[in-house]
């Protein structure tokens, strides 16, 4: 199967074009022959995939982490007053302003990703009820793993999502080494079996922003997200990271998140 997709604005100024044939089957094979489940101790083995030259460059191994530490330290200093103010507003609205969720990081390492709370308490428990009662929401979730009009989002949370300000606490994740400023969007462990190019995701730290966030953003499928992560891994460089960070400010200004 050859995947074709709509031409997207690319910070490198190049047409992303079609991808080569990848086959119909999952890129995973399993060491014990059992299906992958996030709750099991089962190490999946990746089948060979597309070449990822960006992950072999010196910048990916050394420079990127140094860049993260320097820029994240500056960002934390500048954003601290805003983070304190938003935390206070969220505490008044719905209690604990912070939310942590397990995500999958580099080399399959699991970590707790921090965000400002944008949903009601027990939002994860309410998701199943929302999807079972509304077939349209179920179809949207299956397609994008996200809901454009999510009934669980609070009023302040909706504003934070539009501007991506709910992601501010992830600066701490960057400083701890779980995330990068630029990289694939952090993935839930249960989503990995849906992912077309796991080599691209597991070979680099997930990012606060990335190629997907500044191109397709919220308007495309989960499958396209995997394609863009592959493109990032193929051309990862200091220049690309700088252009993605610059493009991120425009995305925040347009407030297109949800």
Question: CA 39, CA 37: separation in Å to the nearest integer?
Answer: 5
Q: Tell me the whole-structure pTM to 2 decimals.
A: 0.75
Going by DSSP bridges, is the β-strand pair 180-182/110-116 parallel, antiparallel, or unpaired? unpaired
Which tops the pLDDT comparison, 50 or 67? 67
| Element of type H or E holding 182 | strand 180-182
Q: What are phi and psi of 129, to 5 degrees?
A: -65, -40
pLDDT confidence bin for 159, thresholds 50/70/90: confident
CA–centroid distance for 135 within its chain: 25
pLDDT of residue 19: 47
pLDDT of residue 144: 65
| pLDDT of 175 over the 90 cut | yes
CB environment 73-101: b (16+ within 10 A), e (fewer): eebbeeeeeebeebbeebeeebeebebee
Highest mean pLDDT among 22-26, 58-62, 72-76: 72-76
| pLDDT of 42 over the 50 cut | no
Which tops the pLDDT comparison, 155 or 257? 155
């Amino acid at each position: 199967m050859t995947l074709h997709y709509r031409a997207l604005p690319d910070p490198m100024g190049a047409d992303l074009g079609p991808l080569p044939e990848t086959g119909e089957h999952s890129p995973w094979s399993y060491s014990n022959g059992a299906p992958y489940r996030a709750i099991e101790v089962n190490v999946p083995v990746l089948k060979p995939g597309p070449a990822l030259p960006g992950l072999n460059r010196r910048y990916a191994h050394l420079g990127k982490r140094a860049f993260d530490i320097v820029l994240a330290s500056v960002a934390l200093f500048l954003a601290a007053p805003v983070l304190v103010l938003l935390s206070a507003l969220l505490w008044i609205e719905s209690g604990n302003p912070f939310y942590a969720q397990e995500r999958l990081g580099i080399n399959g390492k699991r970590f707790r990703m921090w965000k400002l709370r944008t949903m009601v308490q027990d939002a994860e428990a309410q998701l199943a009820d929302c999807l079972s009662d509304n077939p349209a929401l179920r179809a949207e979730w299956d397609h994008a793993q996200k809901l454009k009009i999510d009934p669980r989002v609070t009023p302040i949370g909706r504003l934070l999502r539009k501007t991506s300000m709910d992601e501010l606490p992830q600066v701490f994740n960057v400083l701890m080494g779980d995330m990068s400023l630029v990289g694939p969007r952090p993935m839930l462990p249960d989503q990995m079996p849906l992912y077309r190019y796991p080599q691209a995701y597991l070979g680099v730290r997930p990012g606060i922003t990335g190629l997907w966030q500044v191109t397709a953003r919220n308007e495309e499928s989960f499958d396209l997200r995997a394609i863009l992560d592959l493109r990032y891994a193929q051309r990862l460089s200091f220049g690309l990271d700088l252009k993605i960070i610059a493009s991120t400010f425009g995305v925040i200004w347009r407030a297109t998140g949800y």
